[in-house]
């Protein structure tokens, strides 16, 4: 991977070990290397694995974590090879830019500081090489997400806070198409009928300080939050805070907030204290950051599906690496049911069968809420199991370490789909190996393939089964409500159900690619405009709304 390529290596084929060849070669040449991973757990794991190997080449290893102090970060950057999440690298770069411009960076949840002190000097050194693990997640799914370094703005006025709370309650009583419409390019807009309905209702006295224009603006925002963002799917409430969950990884996105008042609308809906909206001070996308490196390469288990995007955006070709040993993974015929309830019953039957044989079972779910619902059903069925999701990330390493034990049942979100290596223990291989159940198609086939890759590593036995139902989420996400209803009405066989769900998945993949392309173009236009005006596009950010 000294060349600009994305190496596609199947799960368990040794991506971490293979990357050391590239890193060691760079160390011999005296080059500094940043190694970007998907989360803190993987950064620490890989750094600990690499350190004793690189010592043989006089290479030193540093590791960044979200809770690393300024002093720990400075020490980590003195090493020749630095492991960390891509966002830690980007945010340190932004803080350095603010330091050079002599602009206070403000408080940050990701970098603890001592009372009364403020970081005033650069710490991130220049590096020639950036090696990215889980490259499709970082360079495709997250590439155009703005990394925004912000400071607190003034709190919302009391009438606005009251309006958000009132709007959250009212949103549940309004109907799309009658009271409001989702207008392309504008978002949620109240209809004349909806405005009349609100105008004829009695408003709380706390809203008296708002004009009608302000009232409808905050109400439309509350409606958008009600329709688009769901607890246990898009976010969790932890320590009385709304914390975003990244769908592609299943992990929480520490320190991130939705912009344009959306985060505050969700806080009001959850009955939490409404925090001040952050004020943008510096902004950079992952895509813009990685282009600063002379040598860029990466690795992942799933790159083929987005190989054209890798080539077009980053000039990186995808290089599939042959398996070290022939795969013994068995792909069992998918099971399709008309309703989610029937699908759950079929899944429980399969889990009971595999459990009775002493095989370890991993069940993948799309959301935290789905993992909790499935856990409740399994408890009622008397099936002992453990759950891994963004609510208990501190247990990830221990849960994964035991997921390959005979008879072990693990319910997990996408957290168990990336970077994890489930090793068979005891006589689990003799009993048939790990059995993976996919409870629903994800919005991208790559994520499904990541989950399937948890079994059958390095020639191990294992099997995969996909479960589908007509009321799965992809249909609703891919089509408008009336279109989705029409499709469901016309699906009369299991074959047509499966076909429509996979068609919806492809449509979602296409929509996501188009959305990334539009965002990339828009960001480039903003950057060009700011430069034309003689402004630094990083320190004069134009933040995106969600």
pLDDT > 90? residue 520: no
pLDDT in tens, 117-167: 344 578 999 888 999 998 998 999 888 877 888 776 677 888 888 888 898
Q: In the predicted model, what is the mean pLDDT of residues 7-20?
A: 87
pLDDT > 70? residue 284: yes
Domains of the chain in start order, with CATH, are 5-151+284-320 (3.40.50.300), 158-276 (3.90.1440.10), 328-469 (3.40.50.300)
Residue 345, C-beta contacts closer than 8 angstroms, at least 6 positions apart = none
Q: What distance in Å separates the CA atoms of residue 396 and residue 392, rounded to the nearest whole number?
A: 7
Under the banding of pLDDT at 50, 70 and 90, the label for residue 300 is: very high
What sign results for the dihedral spanned by CA atoms 269, 273, 279, 285? negative
**The predicted structure's pLDDT at residue 321:** 92
CA 411 to chain centre: 18
Q: What distance in Å separates the CA atoms of residue 386 and residue 388, rounded to the nearest whole number?
A: 7
HSE-CB at 162 with a 13 A cutoff on CA atoms is 12
**The predicted structure's pLDDT at residue 420:** 67
What sign results for the dihedral spanned by CA atoms 451, 454, 459, 463? negative
Q: What is the residue-averaged pLDDT of the chain?
A: 87
Q: In the predicted model, what is the mean pLDDT of residues 423-429?
A: 93
**The predicted structure's pLDDT at residue 110:** 35
Q: In the predicted model, what is the mean pLDDT of residues 349-370?
A: 95
Q: In the predicted model, what is the mean pLDDT of residues 323-348?
A: 94
pLDDT > 60? residue 543: no
Backbone angles phi, psi at 382, to 5 degrees: 75, 25
**The predicted structure's pLDDT at residue 256:** 75
HSE-CB at 451 with a 13 A cutoff on CA atoms is 31
β-strands 146-152, 81-85 pairing: unpaired
Q: What is the pTM of this model?
A: 0.81
Under the banding of pLDDT at 50, 70 and 90, the label for residue 343 is: very high
Tokens representing 451 are: 């989950």
**The predicted structure's pLDDT at residue 114:** 29
**The predicted structure's pLDDT at residue 545:** 46
Comparison of pLDDT for 400 and 429, the residue scoring more: 429
Instruction: Please identify which residue in the block is written with the tokens 């799965």.
Output: 472
Under the banding of pLDDT at 50, 70 and 90, the label for residue 111 is: very low
pLDDT > 70? residue 106: no
Lowest mean pLDDT among 298-307, 409-418, 466-475: 409-418
Tokens representing 439 are: 């409870």
In eight-state DSSP terms, residue 28 is H
CA 68 to chain centre: 22
Taking each helix axis from N to C terminus, what angle separates 445-452 and 494-532, rounded to the nearest 10 degrees? 110
């Amino acid at each position: 991977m000294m060349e600009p390529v994305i190496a596609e290596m199947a799960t368990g084929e040794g991506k971490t070990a293979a990357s050391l060849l590239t890193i060691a070669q760079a160390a011999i040449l005296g080059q500094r290397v940043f190694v970007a991973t998907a989360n803190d757990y993987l950064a620490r794991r890989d750094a600990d694995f690499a350190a004793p190997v690189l010592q043989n080449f006089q290479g030193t290893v540093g590791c960044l974590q979200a809770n690393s102090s300024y002093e720990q970060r400075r020490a980590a950057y003195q090493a020749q090879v630095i492991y960390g999440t891509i966002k830690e690298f980007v945010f340190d770069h932004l803080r350095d830019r603010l330091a050079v411009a002599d602009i206070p960076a403000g408080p940050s949840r990701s970098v603890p500081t001592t009372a009364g002190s403020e970081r005033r000097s650069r710490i991130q050194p220049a590096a020639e090489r950036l090696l990215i693990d889980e490259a499709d997640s970082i360079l495709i799914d997250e590439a155009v997400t703005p990394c925004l370094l912000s400071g607190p703005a003034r709190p919302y006025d009391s009438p606005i806070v009251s309006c958000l709370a009132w709007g959250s309650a009212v949103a549940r009583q309004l109907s799309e198409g009658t009271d409001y419409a989702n207008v392309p390019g504008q978002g949620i807009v109240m209809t004349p009928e909806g405005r009349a309905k609100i105008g004829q209702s009695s408003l709380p006295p706390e809203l008296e300080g708002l004009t009608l224009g302000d009232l409808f603006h905050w109400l439309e925002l509350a409606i958008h939050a009600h329709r688009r963002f769901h607890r246990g799917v898009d976010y969790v409430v932890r320590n009385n805070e709304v914390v975003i969950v990244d769908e592609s990884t299943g992990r929480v996105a520490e320190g991130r907030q939705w912009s344009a008042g959306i985060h505050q609308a969700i806080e009001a809906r959850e009955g939490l204290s409404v925090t001040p909206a952050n004020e943008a001070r510096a902004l950079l996308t992952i895509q813009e950051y990685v282009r600063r490196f002379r040598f860029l390469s990466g690795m992942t288990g799933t790159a083929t599906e987005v190989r054209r995007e890798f080539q077009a955006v980053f000039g990186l070709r995808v290089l599939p690496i042959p398996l070290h040993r022939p795969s013994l993974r068995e792909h069992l015929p998918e099971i399709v049911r008309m309703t989610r309830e029937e699908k759950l019953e079929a899944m429980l039957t399969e889990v009971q069968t595999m459990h009775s044989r002493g095989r370890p079972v991993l069940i993948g779910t799309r959301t935290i809420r789905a993992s909790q619902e499935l856990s409740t059903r399994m408890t009622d069925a008397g099936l002992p199991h453990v759950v891994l999701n963004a609510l208990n990330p501190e247990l990830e390493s221990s849960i994964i370490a035991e997921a390959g034990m005979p008879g072990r049942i693990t319910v997990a979100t996408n957290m168990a789909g990336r970077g994890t290596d489930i090793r068979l223990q005891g006589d689990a291989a003799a009993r048939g190996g790990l059995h993976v159940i996919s409870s629903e198609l994800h919005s991208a086939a790559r994520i499904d393939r990541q989950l399937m890759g948890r079994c059958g590593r390095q020639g191990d036995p294992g099997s995969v089964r996909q479960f589908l139902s007509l009321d799965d989420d992809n249909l609703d996400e891919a089509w408008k409500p009336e279109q989705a209803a029409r499709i469901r009405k016309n699906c009369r066989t299991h074959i047509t159900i499966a076909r429509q769900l996979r068609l919806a998945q492809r449509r979602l993949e296409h929509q996501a690619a188009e959305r990334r392309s539009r965002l990339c173009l828009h960001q480039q236009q903003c950057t060009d405009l700011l430069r034309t005006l003689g402004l630094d596009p990083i320190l004069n950010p134009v933040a995106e709304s969600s």
